[in-house]
A = this chain, B = another copy of it.
Amino acid sequence: MTDRQNRRVLLASRPEGEPKPENFRLETAPVPQPHEGEVLIRTRWLSLDPYMRGRMSAAKSYATPVEVGAVMEGGTVGEVVASRNNAFREGDMVLGHSGWQDYAVSDGQGLRRLDPAHGPVQTALGVLGMPGMTAYTGLLTIGQPKAGETVVVAAATGPVGSAVGQIAKIKGARAVGIAGGAEKVKLLTEAFGFDAAIDHRAPDFAEQLAAACPDGIDVYFENVGGRVWDAVFPLLNDFARIPVCGIVSHYNDTELPPGPDRTPQLMGAVLRKRLTLRGFIVWDFASQARDFARDMGAWLQEGRVRYREDVVEGLENAPAAFMGLLKGKNLGKLLVKVA
């Protein structure tokens, strides 16, 4: 094992605004050795997700930032290639957090064994994993869509957005998806079954959204902010619910947008329309993991939920793929096939 190398992508420096290639560094290190009680995991799949942008910054958040010089964090599916832990055997496929590297050692804490007979293991990083559960918990616990209501979500071909739309449909709501570009928009209605799909790049995007929501918006699953929020805001109905899952269009902001300050406008609408805005991260709803696995597993089997993957080959391509993710260049759940 000592002749093998461990390629690792480190955070080289903190980005100012958009992450750039120089913020990452690919280096090669010896493969670590598992001690008693540990396993050595070879990464097969690395998940790339918008939340990672936050970890690159030093700002206080719900998670500790990645240190400069440390391996970039990330959810992974890997294979146990050496085990000194009775709970795992060589050849086991496991869901874990190895990060952006070929190999990692783990004491087994937080690892979950995956059964390849149950379907493609990398779905544990997408529709059956964190993004799928983000959609499920945020939409159902905070959004609470009712039959006949209108649910709007952006980044709708992504793993969270596509699940939000499809779960909304399962609950009898009308699903309106927003995405960038004709190809994605087409996919929303044709592959994911959205009732309407809008291209946020269209010059008349706000008008198109209003036309697609003739009865207003009851649930807006917020994951982008910015222009989409501006178009959604006037369409919100009384008692609308807004699960706030992300504001990816602002993650690279280095300063606030110019004035006027629209905070009083937002608070005024919260009051007059009795809106609910509630932020969440999926781990706040960890107790729902079993319900999620049961429901989403069934919906997948029944063909009521579909998913789409965007696979990039090679760990060395992870930084470029991640930078593209923040610009919406992926189509579906972005995964790096590491080995």
By a beta-carbon cutoff of 8 Å, the part of chain A in contact with chain B is 60-62, 222, 225-226, 229, 238, 244-247, 250, 253, 255-281, 284
Chain B residue with minimal CB distance to A277?
B277
Residues of B close to A222: CB separation below 8 A: 267
Taking the nearest CB of chain B, how far is it from the CB of A129, in angstroms? 20
Task: Please tell me which one of the listed residues B62, B256, B258, B271 contacts residue A274 in the complex, with CB atoms under 8 A apart.
Answer: B62
Known: A62-B238, A238-B62. A264 touches B274 (CB 8 A): no
Chain B residue with minimal CB distance to A61?
B272
Residues of B close to A272: CB separation below 8 A: 60-62, 279
Known: A276-B278, A277-B276, A277-B278. A245 touches B261 (CB 8 A): no
A270 touches B276 (CB 8 A): no
B279 touches A275 (CB 8 A): yes
Most chain B C-beta atoms within 10 Å of own C-beta, residue among A225, A258, A264, A281 = A264
Most chain B C-beta atoms within 10 Å of own C-beta, residue among A245, A253, A267 = A267
B284 touches A279 (CB 8 A): no
A244 touches B271 (CB 8 A): yes
A263 touches B264 (CB 8 A): no
A260 touches B263 (CB 8 A): no
Residues of B close to A258: CB separation below 8 A: 259-261
Known: A62-B238, A238-B62. A270 touches B260 (CB 8 A): no
Known: A272-B61, A280-B274, A281-B274. A247 touches B264 (CB 8 A): yes
Residues of B close to A257: CB separation below 8 A: 259-261, 263-264
Task: Please tell me which one of the listed residues B229, B246, B256, B273 contacts residue A262 in the complex, with CB atoms under 8 A apart.
Answer: B256
A274 touches B279 (CB 8 A): yes
Query: How distant is the Cα of A14 from the Cα of B159 in the complex, in angstroms?
Result: 50
Taking the nearest CB of chain B, how far is it from the CB of A234, in angstroms? 11
Residues of B close to A246: CB separation below 8 A: 271
B274 touches A225 (CB 8 A): no
Taking the nearest CB of chain B, how far is it from the CB of A256, in angstroms? 4
